[in-house]
Amino acid sequence: MKINQRQITILKALEKEVYISVDTLAKRLFASPSSIRRDLAELQSRNMVHRTHGGVTLFNPTERVASFSRRMTKNVQGKQIVAKKASAFLKDGMSVFLDGSTTVKYLLPYIAMHEKITLFTNNLDTATSAINEGIETHCTGGKAFNNSPVLIGPDTERFIKNLRVDAFFFSAQFLNHKGVISDSTQEETYIRSIILENCDKKYFLCDNDKVNQTALYTLTNVKDLDACILEKEWNLLECDGNIIY
């Protein structure tokens, strides 16, 4: 049996948003929730989607995450713009944690301009570049995640739980118009959630490729951060918080 046009539309929507609730699909497609559930059951039987409580995602959302090397070359100018704005929050003598994202790596030249900043990261590539910049650097232990230099796992978690830093600079896959920050990888989302509990200041860096989308795993909301630093003004953002354009 061929998949129908509505099922094709669902798959196309998931290519952009990763996770969508049944109610949202029903409203968009002018169909009843029961009809949507039947469509999802058919797609799941073909190993094309994975049904979750109240919604659906693609069968293996982690395959949607681009490789680290590919992400390093994506929207470089936007990431540089965001990093320059975020550098205003750096101070001599502070301790900072940079997450595994490619975006925060562009902060390294600005960190190197300051005196006695202590850097922590769970990204081997970021750590190596920081050392080359002459920055005092500490790298968590852990297991390389998804053939990348990002470290995860129990060793990483233990290291971070015993740490308290002045500032956490991080990014994630998506930011939606309600200020929700989300990612397709459960492992990295969990590591970031631990660091958010173990830092005094929280700064989210977001280039324009990340806006107006939602992934499966929610990390936090802009209103709970000290600053959300965007590449450019985004008029659709409807949330409280310190937004920096």
Which burial class, exposed, middle or buried, applies to 21 when counting CB atoms under 10 A from its CB (0-12, 13-18, 19+)?
Answer: middle
Share the mean pLDDT of the chain: 89
Average pLDDT over residues 210-222: 89
Structural domain count, the chain: 2
The fraction of the chain above a pLDDT of 90, given in percent, is: 67
C-alpha 125/C-alpha 128 separation (Å) is 5
pLDDT over 70 percentage in the chain: 92
Q: Kindly state whether residues 51 and 74 are assigned to the same domain.
A: no
Q: How far from chain centre, in Å, is Cα 209?
A: 12
Q: Is the pLDDT of residue 226 over 60?
A: yes
- Please, which residues bridge with residue 87 across strands? none
Cβ atoms of 200 and 165 within 8 Å: the answer is: yes
What is the pLDDT, as a whole number, of residue 1? Answer: 55
pLDDT of 212 > 70? The answer is: yes
pLDDT digits (tens, 9 = 90+) for 31-54: 999 999 999 988 888 767 878 778
Q: Are residues 31 and 103 in the same domain?
A: no
Of 14, 41, 59, the residue that ends a domain is: 59
User: How does DSSP classify residue 41?
Assistant: H
- Say if residues 105 and 119 touch (Cβ distance below 8 Å): no
- The whole domain housing 87 covers 68-244
Q: Judge if 146 and 232 occupy the same domain.
A: yes
Residue 161: its pLDDT value, please? Answer: 96
Q: How confident is the model at residue 142 (pLDDT cuts 50, 70, 90)?
A: very high
The tally of CA atoms less than 13 A away on the side-chain side of residue 50 is 10
SS3 for 168? Answer: strand
Phi first, then psi: what are they for 112, rounded to 5°?
A: -65, -20
Higher-scoring residue by pLDDT: 224, 43 = 224
pTM value is 0.75
238 and 171 in one domain?
A: yes
Answer yes or no: is pLDDT of 213 > 60: yes
pLDDT confidence of residue 33? 92
Looking at the fold, whether 200 and 139 belong to one and the same domain comes out as yes
- CATH code of the domain in which 83 resides: 3.40.50.1360
Task: Return the higher-pLDDT residue of 17 and 226.
Answer: 226
Q: What is the 3-state secondary structure (H, E, C) of 85-149?
A: HHHHHCCCCCEEEECCCCHHHHHHHHHHCCCCCEEEECEHHHHHHHHHCCCEEEECCCEECCCCC
> Per-residue pLDDT for 102 more than 80?
yes
pLDDT above 60 (res 140): yes
56 bridge partner residues: 20, 51
